[in-house]
Structure 1
Amino acid sequence: MKRREFFKKGVKGAVAASILPIVGHASTINEEGVFFGGDDGEKRTADNWYQVGSGKKEKPIRKKKLYVDVLVAGGGVAGCCAAVSAARTGAKTIMVQDRAVLSGNASSEVRVHLNGVTNLRDGYPERETGIVEEILLHNRFNNPQNSWNVWDHMVYDYVTQEPNLTVMMNTQAIEAKTKGDKIKSVKCWQITSETEYTIYAKQFIDCSGDGLMAATAGALYRSGREGKAEFNEKYAPDEPDNWKMGASLIFRSKDMGKPMPFKAPAFAIPYTEGHRPDKHRSLRNINHGFWWVEVGSENDIVGETEEIRHRLMGHLYGVWDYVKNSGNHPEAENYALDWVASIPGKRESRRFMGDHILTEGDLLNHTHFKDAVGYGGWSLDEHNPGGIENLKEPASYFHYKFKKVYEIPLSCLYSNNVSNLLFAGRNVSVSHIALSSTRLQGTCATMGQAVGTAAAMCVDKNITPRELRNHHINELQEQLLRDDAYIPNRPAKDEKDLAKKVVAIYASSTSSGDAKLLVNGYSRDVQERDEINHWQSESLPANVSFEWGESVEISKVEVKCDTNTRKNIMLMHDDAYRNKFYTEGVPSELLKTIKLEARINGAWGVIATQEENTKRLIKFDFNKIKTTAVRVTLLDTYGATVGRLYEVRCYQ
Structure 2
Amino acid sequence: MKRRSFFKKSAKGVLAAGLLPITGSVAAHNIETGENKLIHFNEPSGTKKKDPKRRKTLNFDVAVIGAGMAGISAAVSAARNGAKVVLVQDRPVLGGNASSEMRVTVNGVQALKNKHKVERETGIVEETLIENWHYNPQASYHVWDHVLYNYVVREKNLTLLLNTSAMDVVMEGNTINSAICWQSTTETMFTLNADMFCDCSGDGLVAATAGAEYRMGREGKAEFNESFAPDEPDGWVMGDCIMMITKDMGKPVPFYPPDYAIPFDGEKAETTGHRKIKQVKEGFWWVEVGSDVDIIGERDEIRHKLMAYFYGVWDYIKNSGKHPEADNVVLDWIGSIPGRRESRRFMGDFILTQNDMLGLRHFEDAVAFGGWSLDEHNPGGIEDLSQPASFFHSRFDNIYEVPFRCLYSKNISNLLFAGRNVSVSHMALSSTRIIGTCSMMGQAVGTAAAMCSQKDINPRGLYQNHINELQEQLLRDDSYFPNRPANDPNDKAKKASLIFGSSTISGDAKNLLDGVSRDEVDKIHHWQSDGLNAELQVEWEENQSLTSVEMKFDTNLHRKINMHKQPKKHETQPMEIPKELVKNFTVEARVKGKWVMIGSVENNLTRLVKVRFDEIKTSAVRVKLKDTYGEPNIKMFEIRCY
Give the TM-score of the pair, scaled to structure 2: 0.92
Which of 178, 182, 197 aligns to 1:185? It is 178
- Tell me by how many angstroms 1:365 deviates: 0.6
Q: What code does the residue aligned with 1:93 have?
A: V
Question: Structure 2 stretches of 5 or more lacking a match?
Answer: 1-22, 30-36, 43-51
CA distance in 1, matches of 2:569, 2:134: 21
Contact kept in structure 2, 1:352 and 1:428, CA below 8 Å: yes
- d(CA) in 1 for partners of 2:102 and 2:274? 20
Aligned counterpart for 2:583 among listed residues 568, 592, 596: 592
Distance 1:470 1:650 in 2: 28
Q: Give 1:550 shift.
A: 1.2
| 1:627 and 2:610 are equivalent in the alignment | no
Task: Provide, for residues 36-79 of structure 1, a one-character-per-residue CA deviation record: whole Å limited to 9, x for no partner.
Answer: xxxxxxxxxxx933444532422435121111111100010000
* Counterpart mapping for 1:70-85 below 5 A: 70-85=62-77
After superposition, the CA RMSD in angstroms is: 1.2
Query: Equivalents in 1 of 2:336, 2:192: separation in Å?
Result: 30
- 1:247 matched to 2:223? The reply is no
Find out whether 1:605 has 2:611 as its counterpart. no
Whether contact under 8 Å (1:592, 1:614) holds in the other structure is yes
CA contact (8 A) 1:278 1:395 kept: no
Q: In structure 2, what is the equivalent of residue 538 of structure 1? A: 530
Deviation track 1:333-381 (CA, whole Å, cap 9, x = no partner) reads 1111111000111000000000000100110111111110001000000
Q: Contact 1:77/1:132 (CA < 8 Å) preserved in 2?
A: yes
From 27, 40, 51, the counterpart of 1:57: 40
1:410 matches 2:401: no
Q: CA deviation at 1:118?
A: 3.0
Write the deviation string for residues 235-271 of structure 1: whole angstroms up to 9, x where unpaired.
0000000000001111111110011001110010001
Contact in 2 for aligned 1:387/1:395 (Cα 8 Å): yes
What SS does structure 2 have at the residue aligned with 1:197? strand
How many Å separate the matches in 2 of 1:398 and 1:538?
A: 43
C-alpha distance 65-167 of structure 1, shift in aligned 2 (>3 A): same
Matched residue type, 1:283: I
Q: Specify whether residues 579 and 233 from structure 1 end up closer, same or farther in structure 2 by C-alpha distance, changes over 3 A only.
A: farther
Matches within 5 A, 1:168-183: 168-183=161-176
Partner of 1:469: 463
Q: Does 1:88 align with 2:80?
A: yes
Name the amino acid aligned to 2:41: E
Equivalent residue number for residue 384 of structure 2: 390
Are 1:313 and 2:307 an aligned pair? yes
| Alignment equivalent of 2:447, drawn from 450, 453, 456 | 453
Separation in 2 of the partners of 1:597 and 1:278?
65
Name the counterpart of 1:48: 24
* Aligned residues of 2:89 and 2:161 also touching (Cα < 8 A): yes
- Measure how far apart 1:508 and its partner are: 0.7
Q: Which structure 2 residues correspond to residues 11-410 of structure 1 after superposition, within 5 A?
A: 48-52=24-28, 54-59=37-42, 60-122=52-114, 124-276=117-269, 278-410=272-404
Shift of 1:119: 3.0
Moved more, 605-614 or 252-261: 605-614
2:563·2:570 contact (CA, 8 Å) conserved in 1? no
Query: For the Cα contact (< 8 Å) 1:184–1:200, is it kept in 2?
Result: yes
Q: Which moved more, 1:99-108 or 1:599-608?
A: 599-608
CA distance in structure 2 between the aligned counterparts of 1:259 and 1:505, rounded to whole angstroms: 66
Secondary structure class of the residue paired with 1:55: strand
SS in 1 for 2:40: strand
CA contact (8 A) 2:274 2:385 kept: no
Corresponding letter in the other structure for 2:168: E
After TM superposition, list the pairs within 5 Å mapping 1:631-642 onto structure 2.
631-642=622-633
CA contact (8 A) 1:221 1:352 kept: yes
1:440-480, Cα deviation, whole Å (9 max, x unpaired)? 00000000000000000000000000000110000000000
Amino acid paired to 1:631: R
CA contact (8 A) 1:586 1:638 kept: yes
Q: Secondary structure of the equivalent of 1:67?
A: strand
Give the 3-state SS of the residue equivalent to 2:409 in structure 1: coil
Larger Rg belongs to: 2
Identity among equivalent positions (%) equals: 57
Looking at structure 1, the residues matched to 337 and 495 of structure 2 have their Cα atoms a distance apart, in angstroms, of 54
8 Å contact kept, 2:25–2:38? no
How many residue pairs match? The answer is 602
Q: Is the contact between residue 51 and residue 58 of structure 1 (CA under 8 Å) also seen in structure 2?
A: no
Contact 2:369 2:402 in 1 (8 A): yes
Gaps of 5+ in 1: 1-46
Q: 1:56 to 1:170 in 2, by over 3 A?
A: closer
